[in-house]
Structure 1
Amino acid sequence: MTIMNTYNDLVSAVADEIKVIVKDFRFKSRSSDEALINVFEGYMPERTSKKDDENKDYPAIIVRFLSASGNIDKSEKLAKVRIIIGTFNENSDEGWKENLGVVTRLEHELLKRAFIGPFSIEGEVDVELPEEQGVPYWTSAIDIKFTLPQTQTEINWEA
């Protein structure tokens, strides 16, 4: 019997797809003008040193499972994933625009795909750029719902 961990599988599949999408994106970080975007599943890793602080936080994308819901008849189960985008820019006139540019490109590329592994994008896609920002760190989020693979009922004929 194979045990599936579908919620973790979904987060991993979305994170892997995002890594492909952003592989050529370059943005400012605290230590460089040409930094790759780090992609994390769930949460950012714990910082262990000052060097980690400078090189492994922003720019970053975090893929996080939020919730799931479904019908009792198992006809459809939806899971919501939040994609958090964090960028670094000391210029308050450009910082929010740069962050929103990443959101736009990422949203467009994900919606073009429609399927990520066995998961299909469904319903509304919500984008949020919070009003309060901690300049020079800019944060936004994309919430996307995915249809999960159906659970198949097993019948034990031997019982």
Structure 2
Amino acid sequence: MDSLNMTDELVTFLTDSLADIRLPTKDENILKAPTVYDGYSPPKKNVRRGEDDTEQDDYPFVIVRFLFEKDNLKDENVMKFRFVIGTYSKDERQGWRETLDVMNHIKFALKEVVSVGPGLLTGEIESALFEEQPKPLWHGVMEVDFATPPVQLDRSVLGDDFNY
């Protein structure tokens, strides 16, 4: 399992796990599930060129971002991912609750299945709300580790002189 495939597995898993949640958007008449992106959010429209501002239309969202991988080449491979969560709420006092709700859904879904694709949840699930919030946009972050099967080397290609 490589990190690109694991990222795709997580995007699919989170999209399915969050499909039933309905959260506010900039248009108060529309509630929707968070959109899950891999890596980074899509580019914003350019208001100076006459394109509509879509910054708040992208909310709610979850971004699955690969952070790093530790592969000891013998028997263990661990990948760390960060989930960036963004929600929209005009409630300046309680708007943070929407972000925390998404983070809780993710945590509960991960703990229920314990594995995503070939990745086994390991270590801790870390969650935090950003201290400063650009209201009405609210943000949080989660970090999770997954143990994945190590990539196996084809020793026949390496030759007899290769030694661990």
Question: Contact (CA 8 Å) 1:31, 1:54: kept in 2 or not?
Answer: no
Quick check: 1:31 aligned with 2:33?
no
* Superposed structure 1 runs of 4+ greater than 2 Å apart: 51-55
Question: Contact (CA 8 Å) 1:22, 1:37: kept in 2 or not?
Answer: yes
Q: 1:138, 1:156 → 2: CA distance?
A: 53
Matches within 5 A, 1:1-159: 6-32=2-28, 33-48=30-45, 49-50=51-52, 52-55=54-57, 57-72=58-73, 74-156=74-156
Residue 51 of structure 1: how far off its partner (Å): 5.8
Unaligned runs of 5+ in 2: 46-50, 160-164
Q: TM-score, normalised by structure 2?
A: 0.85
Q: 2:128, 2:158 → 1: CA distance?
A: 53
Q: Please report the RMSD computed on the Cα atoms of aligned residues, expressed in angstroms.
A: 1.9
Q: TM-score, normalised by structure 1?
A: 0.88
**Structure 2 counterpart of 1:116, one-letter code:** V
Structure 1 residues 54 and 136, CA gap change in structure 2 (3 angstroms): closer
Partner of 1:97, secondary structure, is helix
Identity of aligned residues (%): 27
Q: 1:157, 1:143 → 2: CA distance?
A: 37
Structure 1 residues 67 and 158, CA gap change in structure 2 (3 angstroms): closer
**Structure 1 counterpart of 2:150, one-letter code:** Q
Question: Contact (CA 8 Å) 1:18, 1:106: kept in 2 or not?
Answer: yes
Which of these two proteins has the greater Rg computed from alpha carbons?
A: 2
Q: 1:71, 1:36 → 2: CA distance?
A: 38
**Structure 2 counterpart of 1:50, one-letter code:** D
**Structure 2 counterpart of 1:37, one-letter code:** P
Question: Contact (CA 8 Å) 2:64, 2:82: kept in 1 or not?
Answer: yes
Unaligned runs of 5+ in 1: none
Question: Contact (CA 8 Å) 2:126, 2:142: kept in 1 or not?
Answer: yes
Structure 1 residues 157 and 98, CA gap change in structure 2 (3 angstroms): closer
